[in-house]
Amino acid sequence: MPLAKERLYTVEDIADLPDGQRAELIDGVIYDMSTPSRLHQKISMALATVIQNYILSKKGNCEVYAAPFAVFLDQNDYNYFEPDITVVCDPAKLSDRGCEGVPDWILEIVSPSTQSRDYGIKLFKYRMAGVREYWIIDQKENRIAVYDFENDSMYKAYTFSDRIPVGIYDGDLQIDFSKMIN
C-alpha cells in the first residue's frame, strides 16, 4: 500500500486564508502565526523607527517594513515569509505584493510559537537565500543573536543592555536595546 502524500501548500493557499489570519509558508508547509504580545510590538515599532530615522538621515535608498509584510524569498509558490522587520536596499525587489527576492536585513522577534522556526529553518533559509544580515531578538532570554552572513557565518550574542552595530551599514548605525524596553 502506498504511503499517503503530505499536501504541499502554495502562496495561493495563504492568500485564501480568512481575513486576519496570519501564517507563513515554508517549503509548502503552512505555519500559523499568533498575535504578537504588547512587548513584541513595542520592540518592533522602536526598531523600525530607529532604522527608518537612520535611513532618512543618510538619505539612503533602503526601505524598512514592519510585519505584516510579505517576503517571497525564493520566488516560488512554496515559500512566503512575514518577518517582523524587513530592510530592502534594492528597489527593484519591491512590488505591491511585498519583497520579491532576498531582503538585505531581516529581524525576527521571538514568540513562543515561532522560536524553533526563528532559530532553525528560517536561519537556514535566510542564510542560503543570501540575506546579508539576520537578527533574532529574544526578550525572554535577554538575547539578540546577530548573524552577519555577508562577512562571516558565526553569530554574535548580545543582550538588551548592549549597543549593537548593524553590519549592512558597516557599524555606522548602532542600536541601543537598553532604550527599547524601558
Q: Which three cell numbers stand for residue 157?
A: 550574542
Q: Is the pLDDT of residue 101 over 90?
A: yes
Check: CB of residue 52 under 8 Å from CB of residue 86. no
Average pLDDT over residues 59-86: 94
What stretches of 50-173 adopt beta strand conformation (E)? 63-66, 71-72, 85-88, 94-95, 98-100, 105-109, 133-138, 143-148, 155-158, 163-165
Average model confidence (pLDDT) across the chain: 92
What's the pLDDT band for 3 if we cut at 50, 70, 90? low
pLDDT greater than 90 at residue 136: yes
- Check residue 5 and give its pLDDT: 65
pLDDT at 76 over 70: yes
Q: What is the mean pLDDT of residues 3-28?
A: 88
Confidence of residue 154 (pLDDT cuts 50, 70, 90): confident
Q: Residue 102 pLDDT > 70, yes or no? A: yes
Percentage above 70 pLDDT, the chain: 96
Predicted model pTM: 0.93
pLDDT at 2 over 90: no
Burial class (CB in 10 A: 0-12, 13-18, 19+), 41: middle
Residue 95, pLDDT score: 96
Contact assessment for residue 118 and residue 136, using Cβ atoms and an 8 Å cutoff: yes
pLDDT score of 4: 62
47 and 115 Cβ atoms separated by less than 8 Å: no
pLDDT of residue 182: 63
Please say if the pLDDT value at position 27 is more than 80.
yes
> Binning pLDDT at 50, 70 and 90, where does residue 89 land?
very high
pLDDT-derived band at 157, boundaries 50, 70, 90: very high
